[in-house]
DNA sequence: ATCAATATACTGGAAAACCAGTAGAAAAAA
DNA sequence: TTTTTTCTACTGGTTTTCCAGTATATTGAT
């Protein structure tokens, strides 16, 4: 069964990348490259007039940053599938992009197969992330929940209660121990985690997703 | 081109679901159902001896909960693709499952097409999430960053600084304003967000990802 | 130009958190 | 069993946060 090709838009400020993509995708009749733009502004005004199925979006545009672009594009056309593209990859940026609604993410060393696969899947409303991207994301997750100094069970428990915004007295009540003890735990926690107030304590707790 | 079928394992404690899956997948020669289990323990001991390509994993098993199962399975066989299955869907659980390494997630009303697609994609190392699941995840994201009462620019700024663990005086210095003013902002923040200490303030800030 | 919202700043007092040091009981590890 | 770690609890004192109320300058919108 032969569907009609997926209308695809390339947004990248590097002519080489544009040509490369056109060549890589040119042979495949499942994908049709409609046109391309080299900046965000032109892309957005185009989308107000016309539309496409999928956008291959460079994350480092000269005028508008990738994360914002995603929001703006989806604001104009909610059902366009966006695939992020970048050469290197910072987990936090990828995470933000995903949160804002990209359906796929590829590094620029992606193969033609990967590209077509990504475009097809995203067009069908599914996610597609290149294997390198997945690795990066996985690493960033494990890294977070890793290296917090060895806290005792009790300390962890107290920490979560602190992080829930409970006061020393409340915690003491809840654990049937003296407020003074809770204080001691708190102090030990602060020392172990090298901070000097409950605020930072909570920040850490949340980051290491203890809560 | 005809590949050899993807070896799939079903883990679910509802016989009806098992039979249903077998029927739905039985016609498709891209997928071969190796066997099935009705609880977590049996599944894990099987995996110590033998392996499969993809597991369709019910999230509500009688003995071991879904989130733990994912970790345990990947501990034994890191390169099995796991697809979560559940009837209803709580965002937080799905999120946890993803964090622990599931590559796909479907509701039990998935069509045969979706099932095969999910299995194929996951087997290739890609993600696959059913459209309803995606909707649920998207909602939960927007919900989080949604309804925080309208804070003023300054208040948001102060909030982020508080959330970074900075003390009132530090913040005052940084913003070139009086500590008393910072205090006022803090108090307004607490009032608007309906909490009674900086701790909870930070918790909220983090949850609504203001930082 | 005017009105509302925001940002700024204060007083004064109560509550909670933070700091430093000590120490006994219970549990876990050697 | 002995040793170490963890959990418990205290004294005494300093700092910071929290609460309530007030008030003025600045900014933004109509």
Distance to chain B for A2, nearest Cα, Å: 17
CA B195 centroid distance within chain: 28
Distance to chain B for A194, nearest Cα, Å: 12
pLDDT tens digit sequence for A21-38: 888 888 888 999 989 999
- Specify if B1 maps to a domain: no
Task: Give me the CA A150–C1' D3 separation in Å, rounded.
Answer: 20
Could you tell me the pLDDT band of residue A49, with boundaries at 50, 70 and 90? Answer: very high
- Specify if B164 maps to a domain: yes
Asked casually if ipTM beats, i.e. exceeds, 0.85, the reply is no
pLDDT tens digit sequence for A79-101: 999 999 887 777 778 877 887 88
Same domain, B116 and B188: no
Facing residue for A165 by CB, picked from B134, B199, B211 = B199
The CA distance from A150 to A153, in Å, is 9
Domain boundary among A143, A172, A189: A143
Range of the domain at A190: 153-207
Task: Give me the CA B63–C1' D28 separation in Å, rounded.
Answer: 61
Which SS3 state, helix, strand or coil, does residue A54 take? strand
- Specify if B191 maps to a domain: yes
Same domain, B139 and B201: no
pLDDT tens digit sequence for B41-70: 999 999 999 999 999 999 888 888 888 899
Q: Is B131 in Cβ contact with A127 (below 8 Å)?
A: no
**Nucleotide in closest CA–C1' contact with A196:** C18
What is the Cα gyration radius of chain B? 24
Same domain, A60 and A98: yes
Structural contact between residues A172 and A179, judged by C-beta atoms closer than 8 angstroms: yes
Task: Give me the CA B116–C1' D28 separation in Å, rounded.
Answer: 57
Same domain, A43 and A133: yes
pLDDT tens digit sequence for A134-190: 887 777 665 554 456 678 888 888 988 898 889 999 999 999 999 999 999 999 988
Q: Which domain CATH number covers B158? A: 1.10.10.10
Count up the domains in chain B and report the number: 2
Same domain, B90 and B176: no
Domain boundary among B91, B118, B143: B143
- Specify if A148 maps to a domain: no
Same domain, B180 and B115: no
| DSSP codes, B28-47 | -TTEEEEEEESSHHHHHHHH
Q: Which domain CATH number covers A50? A: 3.40.50.2300
- pLDDT confidence of residue A17: 79
Contacts of residue B203 in chain A, CB cutoff 8 Å? 163-165, 202, 206, 211
Same domain, B134 and B193: no
């Amino acid at each position: 069964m032969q569907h009609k090709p997926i209308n695809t838009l390339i947004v990248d400020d590097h002519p080489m990348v544009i040509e490369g993509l056109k060549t890589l995708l040119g042979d495949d009749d499942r994908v049709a490259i409609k046109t391309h733009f080299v900046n965000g502004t032109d892309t957005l005004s185009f989308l107000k007039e016309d539309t496409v199925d999928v956008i291959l979006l460079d994350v480092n545009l000269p005028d508008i940053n990738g994360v914002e672009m995603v929001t703006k594009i989806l604001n104009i056309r909610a059902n366009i599938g966006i695939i992020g593209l970048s050469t290197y990859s910072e987990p936090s940026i990828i995470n933000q992009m995903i949160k804002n609604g990209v359906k796929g993410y590829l590094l620029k060393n992606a193969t033609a197969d990967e590209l077509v696969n990504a475009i097809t899947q995203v067009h069908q409303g599914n996610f597609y992330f290149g294997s390198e991207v997945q690795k990066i994301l996985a690493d960033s997750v494990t890294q977070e929940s890793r290296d917090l100094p060895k806290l005792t069970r009790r300390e962890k428990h107290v920490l979560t209660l602190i992080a829930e915004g409970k006061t020393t007295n409340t915690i003491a009540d809840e654990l049937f121990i003296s407020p003074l003890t809770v204080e001691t735990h708190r102090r030990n926690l602060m020392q172990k985690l090298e901070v000097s107030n409950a605020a930072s304590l909570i920040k850490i707790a949340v980051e290491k997703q203890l809560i």
